[in-house]
A and B are shown apart, each in its own frame.
Chain A
Amino acid sequence: MTPRDELQASTGAYVLNALSDAERTDVEREIAGSEQLRAEATELADTAVELGLSVAPVEPPASLRDSILAAVAATPQLPAPPLGPDESEHELARPAGPAELKARSRWRTPLARLGAVAAAIALIVSLGFTVRAGLQAQTDMTTASQINQIQAADDYQRLTVDATGGGSATLVWSVSLQQSALLVDGLKGLPAGSTYELWYIDSDGATPAGTFDVGDGGDHSVVLAGDMGLGDTVGVTVEPAGGSTRPTTDPIILVQTA
Chain B
Amino acid sequence: MLRTVTRNYDDDVDGITPAVTSEDLLGRVALGDQAAFAQLYDRTASRVFGLVKRLLRDHAQSEEVTQEIFLEIWQNATRYEPAKGGAISWMLTMTHRRAVDRIRASQASRDRDTRIGIRDFAPEFDSVAENVEIQIESERVKEAMKRLTELQRQAVQLAYFGGYSHSEVSAMLKVPIGTVKTRLRDGMIRLRDELGVVS
Contact = CB atoms under 8 A, between A and B. Distances in A.
B52 to A, nearest CB: 9
B71 A44 contact: no
Interface string A40-53: 10111111111111
Given A17-B96, A69-B38, A78-B75, A54 B137 contact: yes
B190 to A, nearest CB: 9
A142 to B, nearest CB: 9
B78 interface: yes
A79 interface: yes
B83 A101 contact: yes
B127 A56 contact: no
Given A10-B181, A10-B185, A51-B160, A64 B79 contact: no
Tell which of A77, A159, A219 has the most Cβ of chain B within 10 Å. A77
B61 interface: yes
Contact of B100 (A17, A78, A152, A258): A17
Contact of A47 (B2, B84, B195): B195
Given A18-B169, A65-B41, A257-B120, A13 B96 contact: no
A18 B166 contact: yes
A45 B97 CA distance: 11
A48 B93 contact: yes
A135 interface: yes
B58 A144 contact: yes
B179 to A, nearest CB: 10
A212 to B, nearest CB: 13
Contact of A13 (B120, B128, B184): B184
B45 A65 contact: yes
Contacts of A257: 120
B60 A53 contact: no
B149 interface: no
Interface in B75-119: 75-79, 81, 83-85, 88-89, 92-93, 95-97, 100-101, 105-110, 116-117
Contacts of A183: 57-58
A56 B60 contact: no
Interface in B144-184: 156, 159-161, 163-167, 169, 178, 180-184
Contacts, number: 282
A33 to B, nearest CB: 18
A102 B84 contact: yes
Tell which of B49, B59, B88, B160 has the most Cβ of chain A within 10 Å. B59
Contacts of B38: 65, 69
Contacts of B88: 49, 53
A100 interface: yes
Contacts of A92: none
Contacts of A34: none
Tell which of B96, B109, B130 has the most Cβ of chain A within 10 Å. B96
B180 A46 contact: no
Given A12-B181, A13-B184, A168 B131 contact: yes
Given A58-B46, A106-B84, 5 more contacts: A9-B182, A12-B188, A105-B84, A159-B120, A219-B57
Interface of A: 6, 9-13, 15-21, 39-40, 42-61, 64-65, 67-69, 71-73, 75-81, 97-102, 105-106, 116, 120, 131, 134-135, 138-141, 143-144, 147-148, 151-157, 159-162, 168, 170, 183, 185, 215, 217, 219-221, 256-258
6 contacts: A13-B159, A17-B100, A50-B138, A80-B78, A102-B83, A219-B57
**9 tightest A-B CB contacts, nearest first:** A12-B185, A12-B184, A57-B46, A102-B84, A140-B60, A99-B2, A54-B141, A54-B138, A152-B106
